[in-house]
Amino acid sequence: MIARTWHGTVPVDKADAYHDYLMVTGVPDLQQTPGNRGVTIFRRLDGAVAHFLLTSYWDSFEAIRRFAGDDVDCARYYAADAEFLLEREPQVAHYEVLDPPGLP
């Protein structure tokens, strides 16, 4: 299993709205992609900035390509992301999942 992690920052006053936005854009797209095994969203408030770490779990890099396209290391963004994000980080990171907690 492979974990794909993406990091983004938003102003803290937009943190709740951005979470809601993720839940109607990226998260459903991830979950509906064949080969996706789950998604976890982490949030850390740090002064005026909210950090989001989104981790999705995949069967293979081929499954990730169905979501991300040919360059699996490139972050995928949506049109309204610019209304929230302080910057668009260009890359994601992938990790081998050695001990998947409760994932099928």
Q: What is the pLDDT of residue 104?
A: 60
How far apart (Å, rounded) are the C-alpha atoms in residues 75 and 47?
A: 25
Helix (H, G, I), strand (E, B) or coil at 45: strand
Determine whether domain 2-96 maps to CATH 3.30.70.100: yes
Instruction: Say if pTM beats, i.e. exceeds, 0.85.
Output: yes
Q: What is the pLDDT of residue 99?
A: 80
Burial 53-69 (b: 16+ CB within 10 A, else e): ebbbbbeeeebbeebbe
Q: Which residue type sits at 92?
A: V
Q: Is 101 a residue whose pLDDT tops 90?
A: no
What does the pLDDT look like over 33-70, one tens digit per residue?
999 999 999 999 999 999 999 999 999 999 999 999 99
Per domain, the residue ranges of the chain are 2-96
